[in-house]
């Protein structure tokens, strides 16, 4: 069965033009990553998770995560925390920042998050989880989505009892990553659970995990009845994976790879500032230049270079035609559109 991945769907009152969602990923889903995802076919993009405690304390780095560019829409900003009232206040800040959807993280398995009572640990406290969704839904006019795991323990089916409660509390969509928190990212995702959840709730369900190809995404949608698929790690340094899932057969040239990486670097420096971006970008060099696109020694050389300017120079030397591709990419980017939050432009945060 062929599923039309270009079909539009509604998340609350927000129209999503395509059944492909770019996942929120900590340490990855900066604005440059999201904007790139939109260009390559994602119908909805999501911020990395934003700490409610950081928002409460007006932490500059945290507030920098609330930056919204004109070409990101529709955009979900994901928040995490364990206090319902604080989550509601954070939702109001997300709305003020210009997001289209407030997403709640009930799926992060990392210890530093779960030990605070947030993330996947809330699946063990469904009453609190429901109160959080109710508080967020009551605090904002934006639709509320929730991303969750199957449960904390291996073999858990808690998502099938928690999910419907979250919908009753006000969730307009559920994203299910059907691995346990204990699994982290090992093993395979059990999308039979996704199909069961689809039957239990009357809101769109987004199927997350292991959507690494068009064939796989088609199969997951066809067998689960999910409304959309979410793609995460497959798109790291490889936005062409999104275009291929949406139907493109094209493989990027070395010039296109180098141009996209340089644009990503420049946009990340604009967003994070030179100092933060220098370390942040190192993991992306291998992601972009892998898959046989460039020799391994070249990737290692880039990581060892002390400045981003030197990395750019080496990339342009290795793929001279990238300069023309880059010029066109930059010409197509919209400019401006900063929003105000508490009287300060979001673009003032994070070094942008």
> Catalytic positions, please?
108
State whether the Cα torsion 209-26-197-92 is positive or negative: negative
Single out the residue of 19, 26, 62 nearest to residue 47, CA to CA: 26
Other CB atoms within 10 Å distance of the CB of residue 110:
13
Single out the residue of 34, 44, 36 nearest to residue 11, CA to CA: 44
In sequence order, the β-bridge partners of residue 75 are 45
176 HSE (CA, 13 A, CB side): 35
Contacts of 33 (CB under 8 A, 6+ apart): 22, 264
Contacts of 107 (CB under 8 A, 6+ apart): 119, 120, 147, 148, 149, 175, 177, 181
State whether the Cα torsion 210-216-218-219 is positive or negative: negative
Residues 135 and 103: beta-carbon distance below 8 Å: no
- Residue 297 in tokens: 């020694």
Single out the residue of 189, 169, 171 nearest to residue 179, CA to CA: 189
SS in 3 state form for 188-215?
A: CCCHHHHHHHHHHCCCCEEEECCCCCHH
In sequence order, the β-bridge partners of residue 16 are 9
What are the φ and ψ backbone dihedral angles of 118, each rounded to 5 degrees? -105, -175
Contacts of 78 (CB under 8 A, 6+ apart): 24, 46, 47, 48, 49, 50, 103, 104, 105, 147
Single out the residue of 144, 118, 148 nearest to residue 209, CA to CA: 148
């Amino acid at each position: 069965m062929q599923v039309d991945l270009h079909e539009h769907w509604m998340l609350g009152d927000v129209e999503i033009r395509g059944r492909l969602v770019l996942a929120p990923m900590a340490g990855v889903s900066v604005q440059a990553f999201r904007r790139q995802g939109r260009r390559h076919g994602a119908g909805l993009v999501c911020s990395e998770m934003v700490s409610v405690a950081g928002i409460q304390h007006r932490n500059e780095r945290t507030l920098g995560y609330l930056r919204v560019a004109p070409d990101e829409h529709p955009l979900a900003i994901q928040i995490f925390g364990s206090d319902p009232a604080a989550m509601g206040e954070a939702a109001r800040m997300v709305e003020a920042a210009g997001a289209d959807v407030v997403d709640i993280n009930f799926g992060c398995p990392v210890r530093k998050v779960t030990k605070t009572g947030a993330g996947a640990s809330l699946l063990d406290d469904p009453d609190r989880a429901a109160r959080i969704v109710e508080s967020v839904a009551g605090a904002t006019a934006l639709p509320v989505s929730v991303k969750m795991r199957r449960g904390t323990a291996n073999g858990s089916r808690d998502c099938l009892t928690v999910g419907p409660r979250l919908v009753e509390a006000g969730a307009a969509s559920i994203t299910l990553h059907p691995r346990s928190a204990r699994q982290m990212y090992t093993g395979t995702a059990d999308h039979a659970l996704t199909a069961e959840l689809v039957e239990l709730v009357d809101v769109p369900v987004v199927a997350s995990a292991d959507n690494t190809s068009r064939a796989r995404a088609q199969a997951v949608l066809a067998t689960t009845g999910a409304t959309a698929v979410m793609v995460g790690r497959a798109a790291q340094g490889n936005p062409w994976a999104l275009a291929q899932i949406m139907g493109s057969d094209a493989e990027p040239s070395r010039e296109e790879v180098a141009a996209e990486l340089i644009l990503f670097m420049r946009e990340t420096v604009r967003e994070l500032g030179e100092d933060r971006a220098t370390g942040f970008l190192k993991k992306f060099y291998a992601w972009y230049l892998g898959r046989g696109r460039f020799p391994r020694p070249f990737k290692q050389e880039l990581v060892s270079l002390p400045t981003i300017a030197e990395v750019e120079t080496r990339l342009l030397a290795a793929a001279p035609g990238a300069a023309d591709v880059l010029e066109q990419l930059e010409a197509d980017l919209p400019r401006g559109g900063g929003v105000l939050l508490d009287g300060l432009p979001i673009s003032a945060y994070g070094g942008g």
